Amino acid sequence: MKTDTLKFQTRNRPFQQYAGWIIGIGLFLLPLIQMDLTTYLTLTVAGISLGMLIFLIASGLTLIFGLMDVLNLAHAAFFAFGAYAGFTVLNLLNNAGWIDTASLAQSLFYLALALGAAGLAGGGLGILTEKIVIKRVYGNHLMQLLVTVGVSFVIVELLKMIWGVNDEVVPVPMGFQDAFIIFGVFIEYFRVVAIFLGITIFAILQYILKQTKLGIIVRAGVENQEIVKATGYNISWIFTLVFAAGSALAAIGGTMMAIFNQAVDPGMGNQFLIFALIVVIIGGLGSVTGSFVGAVIVGLSFNYVAFLWPKMALGVNFMIMAIILLIRPKGLFGKD
């Protein structure tokens, strides 16, 4: 709480504060020169939904870093694991023949089932990882980076062992294969679900971090475990749960992405890790708001550029990252 008020006091330069937003929004209107309004809106909706999916991945990464000061490079592996968990649930439902005939409401229910399973599986794996590995390396960044790389490797190999090395097609509930049209803009239901889920999770995280004591307790625990223990909090379990929550977010993001792309493969984590890393770097390490804004920036710019110059899409994201790093070396919302 205290740090927030301080931040506002130091930031009483309204023009500078809003100039960034104005320039940013102006930049996102720029693609209109090259395309007509309908295409632009379609791409914008698609971009925002892609951004929300990326936010789901990045939020877990930034949550774990922001609270526990651990950069979890195994995040991509949790993401892939969650994708496979959701895929398994959907496959089971498909074998029962429920996927192809699902109405929208039923589809939502099945999605909730898949996401729940993925979240539980990801969270469970997170608890295991934290209890066995991560808790031994708190406070040592280099060790954390190294050990999480190793964990990531192990998880991906386990995925290959359990589900095989090949791509699998993910059965998408029938209700999501529909779309509706507003102002000539073609919007798939699944994109709306993705946007809704992204915003909900953003709101929940903001609430927990800003309105509850959890954030303060965990940060205090990073500074001094003994004192927090003395005040009666079981800090080691709180750490475990935060880590599990981050992993669960990754897993949920994995299932969403699996449905979005209608495919899973063991290496999928690394493909999206690059997005998550760019987002976290743009937004500032440890800031959930930063990840949210960063994810929207990356999702939108990726879609616009992929439409205009398909081969440049990822390169442009790198350019944005470089420019933002030049202007603000700690990212848009990074703590100075």
Encode 268-305 in three state secondary structure: HHHHHHHHHHHHHHHHCCCCHHHHHHHHHHHHHHHHHH
Nearest residue (CB) to another protein, 242 versus 285:
285
| Contact call for residue 73 and another protein (CB under 8 A) | yes
| Contact call for residue 282 and another protein (CB under 8 A) | no
Q: Which residue has the tokens 């690059």?
A: 274
| Contact call for residue 319 and another protein (CB under 8 A) | no
Site string for another protein, 8-37 (x = CB under 8 A): ------------------------------
Q: Which helix (H) or strand (E) holds 187?
A: strand 185-188
- 296-315 residues in contact with another protein (CB under 8 A) are 311, 314
User: What is the Cα–Cα distance from 91 to 97, expressed in whole angstroms?
Assistant: 10
What is the largest distance, in Å, between two alpha-carbon atoms of the chain?
A: 62
| Contact call for residue 137 and another protein (CB under 8 A) | yes
Among 56, 63, 147, 251, binds another protein (CB under 8 A): 147
User: Looking at residue 175, what DSSP letter applies?
Assistant: G
Of 23-31, 33-41, 107-115, 318-326, the segment contacting another protein by CB under 8 A is 318-326
Among 102, 281, 298, 300, binds another protein (CB under 8 A): 281
CB of 153: closest distance to another protein in angstroms? Answer: 4
User: What is the Cα–Cα distance from 330 to 336, expressed in whole angstroms?
Assistant: 7
For residue 108, give the 3-state DSSP assignment: helix
Nearest residue (CB) to another protein, 199 versus 314:
314
Tokens representing residue 222 in the block: 């990073």
User: Phi and psi of 159, rounded to 5°?
Assistant: -60, -45
CB of 260: closest distance to another protein in angstroms? Answer: 18
Q: Which residues pair with 186 in a beta bridge?
A: 181
Residue 335 Rama label (left phi>0; alpha psi -120 to 50; beta): beta
| Contact call for residue 335 and another protein (CB under 8 A) | no
- Nearest of 201, 154, 168 to residue 268 by alpha carbon: 168
- Chain residues binding another protein by CB under 8 A are 71, 73, 133, 136-137, 141-143, 145-147, 149-151, 153-154, 157-158, 160-161, 270-271, 273-274, 277-278, 280-281, 285, 311, 314, 318, 321-322, 325-326, 329-330
